[in-house]
Amino acid sequence: RPHTQTARANAPLSVVDGDDRCASVLRRLARMSRDDARRRRHRASSRVVSTTVYSKAAACFIVALFAVIARAQRLPTYVQPPYLQSISPDTGHVVGGTTVTIYGGGFQNHAGLAARFAYYDSSTGTAEVDVVRATYVDYGTIRVVTPPRKFAASVHVTVTNNGIGYSTTPLNTDDAGTYALFEYKSNAPAGSWTVKNATGHAFGGAVVEITNPSHTTSTRSTDNNFLPGVHLRCRFGNPSDASATTTLTIGTATKTAEHPWFGRGGNIGYTVTSNRLNGGSAMEGPSFILRRGTTYTFTVSSTGHPFYLSSVEPSMWEKKQHANGHAHDGDR
């Protein structure tokens, strides 16, 4: 302080006093130097720790980001497409439902195993493409149920193991790959047929065989005989063609043994009367064919008794209902 320095200015100084004061100053300087070095080391350590933490976090974020991108851009596992050799039968009706067997190789029991039915007519601009599940049989065999179609035409059939890579591209018949052709038809059976075992008992039960001797010379495109499928039927009875009849009358009557629901439900069942059936006489629970694209009129002559239209044969009604988990015991 100024006054202290002034007060001691006149005092005589000794060597000892000067040494003590220098030593004190040196100790203070040394202490300050150590404190300063300690602070610098602490700050440097903090910076290193922070940098390390930030560097590790950034590295983890970058790794996670690349993992997400890799998953998003990951391509499906490559599955070798099969090759086709033949299809049997190679003809069916446009209503579909024909079980065909496709032969070839490289078929895999994969969830994506499927067949593609493709058609295109450049003259009319009409096209149809359907993909249906296939049933794996073995390495060289699969089975497929044909889908329904709007047009009768020859369609291009290809197969895929995984739903992505097909045996060839759609409608391709020139480049690499394999395919099969399936003929869709809509015409009624026609031909010169021979019936074996043409007689039988009135109670039925006789097994008959209908063949066409010229069938062996026909081709997939020219064969107008029977088409395989679940809808193939043979009618025994009135040979007159009543397919043009479009009116049917629904009535009621006491059930007899001819009714498919006889002995179950109520005593009253429905009847159908039409020139299409039994020469115009009423029938109980009949089966009949309706032509695609035709409008039919059903007239109900008695109220209070529901009737049902079903694509299932009467003999299968009970099995169908049990499969659906319910059954109706009302009038039918």
Q: How does residue 145 score in pLDDT terms, banded at 50, 70 and 90?
A: very high
DSSP tag of 128: E
Cα 307 from Cα 266, distance rounded (Å): 13
Residue 263 and residue 285: Cα distance in Å, rounded? Answer: 14
Residue 235's alpha-carbon distances to 56, 289, 305, in angstroms, are 83, 11, 29
Residue type, 245: T
CA angle 165, 171, 175 (to 5 degrees): 75
- Burial call 110-147: b when 16+ CB within 10 Å, e when fewer: eeebbbbbbbeeeeeeeebeeeeebeeeeeeebebbbb
Q: What is the mean pLDDT of residues 57-70?
A: 64
Q: What is the pLDDT of residues 15-55, one digit of tens each?
A: 445 556 666 767 777 787 777 777 777 676 655 545 555 55
* Mean pLDDT (whole number) for 70-79: 66
Asked whether 131 and 114 are in contact (CB, 8 A), the reply is yes
Task: Check: CB of residue 252 under 8 Å from CB of residue 272.
Answer: no
pLDDT at residue 102, rounded to an integer: 96
- Comparison of pLDDT for 198 and 73, the residue scoring more: 198
Looking at residue 19, what is its pLDDT? 58
The residue among 155, 32, 30, 175 whose CA lies nearest residue 90 is 155
Tokens of 76: 């499906």
Question: So what's the pLDDT on residue 329?
Answer: 39
Average pLDDT of every residue of the chain? 77
* Residue 288 scores a pLDDT above 60: yes
pLDDT of residue 183: 92
Is the pTM above the cut of 0.85? no
Task: Render pLDDT for 261-282 as a digit per residue (tens, 0 to 9).
Answer: 777 777 888 888 888 777 788 8
pLDDT tens digit string along 211-265? 877 666 666 666 667 888 777 888 776 556 666 788 888 888 888 887 877 777 7
The whole-number pLDDT of residue 99 equals 93
